[in-house]
Structure 1
Amino acid sequence: MGQLWQENLTRLGLEIPAVAAPAGAYIPALRSGSHVYTSGQLPFVGGQLSAVGKVGAEVSLEQAKQAAQLCALNALAAVHDLVGLDSVVRVVKVVGFVASAPGFNDQPLVINGASELLGELFGEAGVHARSAVGVFELPRNTPVEVELIVEVS
């Protein structure tokens, strides 16, 4: 995979942030064999959430999609800190949780923010299995949480 992800990240005008400090008794990422599993990542930017509230109420679909992208960047930061993104062979699975207002059922469109970014960064190796789940509440009133499973060399 080499530096493809870095070139694509630069082209998109994005950068891998510092790893977010855990909000509980867990670690940001764990390697088991040839896979890295990230903990659920929130849309932190400089220690602050990019949005708060429920999607479909206080948070728009577009804001939530952007938040999902930030979650994916934070998950990639956890992978990078643990093993380096150059070792990513492919993104295996994305799990996304969306704090949803009653009647909001476009969770897949929200999590597309994460999925589309991973495809942009890793090309075919960024295509993955996925779950997009609507939930009533998420930590710190965040609208979105995303976790990744990646295969590494």
Structure 2
Amino acid sequence: MSTPEERLAELGLTLPEVVAPLAAYVPAVRTGDHVYVSGQLPMVEGKLLLTGKVGAEVDPEDAKRAARVCALNALAAAASVVGGLSGVVRVVKVVGFVASAPGFTGQPQVVNGASELFGEIFGEAGRHARSAVGVAELPLNTPVEVELIAEVR
């Protein structure tokens, strides 16, 4: 079986630089055999990919793609504290927050953008417990935020 880095390359993706914190926290913390990754926004090269509420200004499919970017940023943060992506044994828990317009109930489909990426990279070890939560507001008016807990070696 190929490594997570090889599968990432097969997808045409690379781990980005770890996104700098926007407040008083660190991107990821390792404790024992787990890494807890702070909520990651859909930042690409230091810029927010899109803004607005899903179901109003943001199309759910665009939000799903943004959740995928959040997941990639979360993996970069995890890899930064365990010496690379191969240090991640399995994805344990994902929490996705979706800034939702009134009446929007498609949060699970939006957060699938992150979940599907973890599956593509880690196979069975990418299957995880998850919450997909609709919220009124997120930092910087981002439509989606993803946090991660991973088992590591």
TM-score when scaled to structure 2?
A: 0.97
**Aligned match of 2:91:** 91
Cα shift readout 1:100-145 (whole Å, capped 9, x = no counterpart) = 0001000000000000000000000000000000000000000000
Please tell me the residue identity of whatever aligns with 2:18: V
Query: Any stretches of 5+ residues in structure 2 without a counterpart?
Result: none
- Equivalent pair of 2:79/2:88 in contact (CA under 8 Å): no
Task: Work out the CA distance in 2 between the residues paired with 1:12 and 1:50.
Answer: 20
Q: Report the CA distance between 1:80 and its aligned residue.
A: 1.0
**Aligned residue runs from structure 1 range 4-153, under 5 A:** 4-83=3-82, 84-153=84-153
CA RMSD after TM alignment: 1.0
Give every structure 1 segment of 4 or more consecutive aligned residues whose post-TM-superposition deviation is greater than 4 Å.
none
CA distance in 2, matches of 1:36, 1:109: 25
User: Which string of whole-angstrom CA distances, capped at 9 and with x for unpartnered residues, describes residues 48-89 of structure 1?
Assistant: 111100000110011100000000000001011111211111
User: 8 Å contact 2:51–2:143 — kept in the other structure?
Assistant: yes
Percent identity of equivalent pairs: 69
Calculate the TM-score normalised by the size of structure 1.
0.97
Structure 1 gaps of 5+ residues are: none
Separation in 2 of the partners of 1:31 and 1:82? 7
SS of the residue corresponding to residue 56 of structure 1 reads: coil
The alpha carbon displacement at 1:14 in A equals 1.0
- Equivalent pairs counted in the alignment come to 152
> Within 2, Cα distance between the matches of 1:11 and 1:87?
19
